[in-house]
């Protein structure tokens, strides 16, 4: 995983100089300087390509994980006509390499990303139907003066696009690279591709799964579900550097760690997976993570923090997160603290359990879903919003320390399989189609059933959903509103809609985060890239995003 930045002239002509904050810069200087704002994403190398006569600049900030010695970017076609910068990993590149080698004998890619060039030469933009992975890339065909820009189906990898005052088109992995030079700014949507010249470039959807349009009717097959999850984890273990797994002690991250440990021991019977937990002393997560680590035989590390440690990082976190959403900030603080420690151990890639709650309906407020149709539609909505919530957090927080995070539950094939399971098999509780009555059934029930046995201790396999920001220690979530209230007066909150007419905050905590965001990213275009994560108010749930605010939580402090 890395960082990319690209600039394309509005008319395809040279860009001699650009004005930035009152000083003149050549195109190369401008591109290098703006990409420097995301250089934390690629601490290992910076690659620059300037096609001056066509007004094109491409910059790649590299975190070397696969093809460490050979994967310098930009990558080029054999004739030098095509230039490519990629942020992410192509998980089926070995299979693709074998296919390409049949057509091009002796073909040896420099990295997993290299296969995109050969696929483009053969299939054009249809190459996206042949790859699996997490990615955002910009490909430039200089002979045809054509662009190809694409993002993975769920937006695991961030990508922004903007337009400056001269009409030049910009792309970057992080918004901070664009916000002070682009008048127009937007998120490049997940599952979309844009192809053509600069003037005609518009993202169009290439990922069109049937489960978004049709109500699933496929009964769950627990053996197949287990197989699909294990395949997803296996595909995510391609790595040429030391890696580990996050272990919160919840069922999602614990299953990923358990499966990864098993697979690695197939290769080396003495292998010990590195696992990491974060929390306050006495936190629920620590207790359960220890059980898992002992069960799977991992080399486990606990990183403890106190409330002040996290509060110290709020301002820096919002800068890296590029969000003021309360739920997203809350969940990010412990991971922000954790990421630095993990990277300091020499680990460059980490596995995590994000995505399971979205595809299995695992959030506690799903207990209030009124029927199967709304339950399934809410899972679709959560999948579509991953790139502005959990996945945004997971990617940007870890990459702020140059640490790549992989999320096997969002493997496209796995998501397509799970989202095609009929909702009555996944809905928490058990809705009677005729009476409407529901008996209690644990969230993510089919996932837990599929891995019943010796994968995890029962105390973890059947542990109630605990949102990450809660599980690391309830004191942190209790402290954040109190901390924010010291910075925001009652009068300021009453005037919130006047100061922030777009997405006005409703709490002092939200107001405080919004003020910090505005100091760092002052444009309205930047503020519009943020979306709010909250439970369904129309299902009778409180707006507070904490899992403890939901009545289904066994330590609920609110009722829903």
Task: Report, as residue numbers or ranges, the catalytic residues.
Answer: 2
Give the phi and the psi of residue 431 in degrees, each rounded to 5.
-80, 125
The token pair at 220 is 């769950």
CA distance 205 to 49: 28
Indicate left, alpha or beta for 80 from its phi (over 0: left) and psi (-120 to 50: alpha).
left
CA distance 487 to 510: 11
Q: Are 231 and 412 in contact (CB under 8 A)?
A: no
Non-local CB neighbours of 3 within 8 Å, separated by 6+ positions:
35, 38, 39, 40, 41, 42, 60, 61, 87, 172, 173, 174, 399
The token pair at 426 is 């996944």
Give the phi and the psi of residue 209 in degrees, each rounded to 5.
-70, 150
For the residues of 356-372, what is the DSSP string, one character each? HHHHHT-SGGGGG--SH
Strand-pairing partners, residue 137, are 86, 150
CA distance 410 to 126: 21
Looking at the chain, how many residues does it have?
560
Q: Which residue has the tokens 């294990």?
A: 230
Residue 386, classified by CB atoms within 10 Å of its CB into exposed (0-12), middle (13-18) or buried (19+), is: buried
Q: Which residue has the tokens 């739920």?
A: 327
Residue among 479, 442, 484, 474 at smallest CA distance from 460 = 442
CA distance 162 to 151: 15
Q: Are 2 and 44 in contact (CB under 8 A)?
A: no
CA distance 40 to 344: 14
For the residues of 51-72, what is the DSSP string, one character each? EGGGTEEEEEEE---SSTTT--
* Count of beta carbons in the 10 Å neighbourhood of residue 441: 13
């Amino acid at each position: 995983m890395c960082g990319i930045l690209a600039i394309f002239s509005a008319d395809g002509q040279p860009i001699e100089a650009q004005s930035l904050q009152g000083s003149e810069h050549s195109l190369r200087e401008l591109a290098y300087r703006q990409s420097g704002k995301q250089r934390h994403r690629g601490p290992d190398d910076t690659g620059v390509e300037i096609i001056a006569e066509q007004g094109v600049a491409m910059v790649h900030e590299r975190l070397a994980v696969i093809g460490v010695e050979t994967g310098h970017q930009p990558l080029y076609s054999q004739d030098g006509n095509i230039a490519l910068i990629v942020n992410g990993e192509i998980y089926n590149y070995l299979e693709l390499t074998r296919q390409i080698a049949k057509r091009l004998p002796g073909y040896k890619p420099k990295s997993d990303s290299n296969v995109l060039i050969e696929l483009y030469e053969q299939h054009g933009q249809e190459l996206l139907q042949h790859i699996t992975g997490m990615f955002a890339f910009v490909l430039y065909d200089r002979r045809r003066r054509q662009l190809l820009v694409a993002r993975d189906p769920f937006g695991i990898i961030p990508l922004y696009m903007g337009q400056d005052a001269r009409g030049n088109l910009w792309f970057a992995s992080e918004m901070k690279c664009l916000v002070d030079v682009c008048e127009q700014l937007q998120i490049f949507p997940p599952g979309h591709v844009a192809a053509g010249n600069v003037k005609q470039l518009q993202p169009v959807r290439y990922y069109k799964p049937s489960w978004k349009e049709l109500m699933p009717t496929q009964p769950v097959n627990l053996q197949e579900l287990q197989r699909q999850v294990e395949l997803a984890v296996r595909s995510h273990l391609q790595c040429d550097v030391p890696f580990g797994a996050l272990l919160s002690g919840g069922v999602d991250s614990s299953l990923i760690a358990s499966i990864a440990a098993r697979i690695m021991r197939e290769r080396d019977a003495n292998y010990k997976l590195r696992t990491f937990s974060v929390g306050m002393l006495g936190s629920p997560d620590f207790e359960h993570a220890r059980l898992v680590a002992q069960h799977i035989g991992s080399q486990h590390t606990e990183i403890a923090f106190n409330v002040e440690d996290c509060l110290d990082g709020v301002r820096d976190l919002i800068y890296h997160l590029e969000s003021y959403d309360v739920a997203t900030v809350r969940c990010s603080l412990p991971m922000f603290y954790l990421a630095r420690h993990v990277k300091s151990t020499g680990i460059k890639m980490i596995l995590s359990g994000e995505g399971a709650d979205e595809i299995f309906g695992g959030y506690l407020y799903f207990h209030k879903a009124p029927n199967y149709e709304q339950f399934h539609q809410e899972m679709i909505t959560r999948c579509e919003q991953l790139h502005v919530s959990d996945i945004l957090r997971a990617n940007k927080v870890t990459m702020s320390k140059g640490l790549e995070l992989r999320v096997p539950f969002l493997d496209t094939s796995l998501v397509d399989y799970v989202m095609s399971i009929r909702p009555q098999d996944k809905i928490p509780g058990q809705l009677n189609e005729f009476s409407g009555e529901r008996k209690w059934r644990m969230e993510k029930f089919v996932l837990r059933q599929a891995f019943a046995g010796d994968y995890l201790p029962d105390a973890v396999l059947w542990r109630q959903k605990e949102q990450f920001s809660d599980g690391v220690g309830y004191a942190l979530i209790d402290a954040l509103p109190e901390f924010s209230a010291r910075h925001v007066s009652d009068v300021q909150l009453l005037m919130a809609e006047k100061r922030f007419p777009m997405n006005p905050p409703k709490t002092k905590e939200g107001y405080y985060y919004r003020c910090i965001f505005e100091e760092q990213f002052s444009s309205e275009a930047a503020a519009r890239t943020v979306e709010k994560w909250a439970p369904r108010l129309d299902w009778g749930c409180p707006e507070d995003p904490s899992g403890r605010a939901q009545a289904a939580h066994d330590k609920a402090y609110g009722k829903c």
